[in-house]
Amino acid sequence: MSSALLRARLAPLPGPDSAAIDAVHERAANLLRPSGALAWLDEIADWVAGWQRTATPAVDRPAALIFAGDHGVAAATKVSAYPTGITQALFDAYREGRSTIAAFAKIAGAGVSAIDVGIGRPTGDIRYEPALSDGRFDEIVGIAFDAVDALDCDLLVLGEIGIGNTTPSAAIAASLAGGETAAWVGRGTGVDDEGLARKRSAVQESVRRIAGITDPIEILREVGGSELVAVAAATVAARHRSIPVVLDGYVVTSAVLPLVMVNPAALDHCTVGHCSTEPGHRKLLERLGKRPLLDLDMRLGEGSGAMAAVPLIAMACAGVTSVPTYDEWFGPA
């Protein structure tokens, strides 16, 4: 089986600091405003406090890891509206500080690292062969672990770049969540009806090929992609460093689905930044019990939707820590 390292880090997993959660929850209930007025924002502050392990949660050092890779299925059949070379172009735009995620991160005050885990080194065509060998899978897991270990951040955005990667994402979702395969397949970057038909066919062929495989991590290796594996590994690594994570759209959410199938608590330190227009994403979020912070009909990737949610998370924390309680304002009764 692939990645003993990833499996080993999935059990056991550290939990949040319940004392920090209780302290922030109690403070929020006694702030100088009607109790419960900020509703879910107060819950977000609780969540951040628990994973940052502090009664004064804050978003002072947000960071993003964006993993990039190419896909054999995209090179072999037109499952995307764009050629695979666009992956490299998007990656280069980031390096020059001119990508969408770079622009968003500047506003959010976040550092961004884009990591090439497979550009010019496409995965296998998942219709006919595994996406990754065991050795390549483990190599990518190691890269992602190292990337997280090198961070100095208090909130982590995870994103991806990879033309055609909603095809393997749909294959993962269909294989693990079940149901009609076509229901997990959307238009991605905007394919026409013929492109959508090709995409559905590619996903169906991929799912049929691995029909006898039930292990979630093996399914990730078989029909995933380099950047999807990296996202999954980074999610686990962040958990062991107690860094709260903001997941991006359909690709990122599909990438972490195998983790929760192995350990139901694997995504407790994660929130979802937004719900994309991919129909499978909303279905997947319902399956995971995750409520997206934003729902803006976005479908870019790059961690853009997750980064757009970072200021909201920062506001949620400030709404608890920077507002006085009644006792602090009026003095003890």
Return the DSSP state at 31.
Answer: B
Q: How many whole angstroms separate alpha carbon 258 and alpha carbon 235?
A: 12
Structure tokens at 26: 């109690």
| Closest C-alpha to 6, from 116, 108, 121, 148 | 148
Look at residue 16 and give its three-state secondary structure: coil
As a whole number of angstroms, the distance between CA 76 and CA 131 comes to 13
Cβ atoms within 10 A of the Cβ of 150, count? 9
SS (H, E, C) 281-328: HHHHHHHHCCCEEECCCCCCCCCHHHHHHHHHHHHHHHHHHCCCEHHH
Tokens read off for 323: 């507002």
Count of alpha carbons within 13 angstroms of residue 273, beta-carbon side: 30
Report d(CA 71, CA 77) in Å as an integer.
10
Q: How far apart are alpha carbons 285 and 272 in whole angstroms?
A: 9
Say which of 218, 227, 278, 302 is annotated catalytic. Answer: 302
Active site (annotated) includes residue 302: yes
Catalytic positions are 302
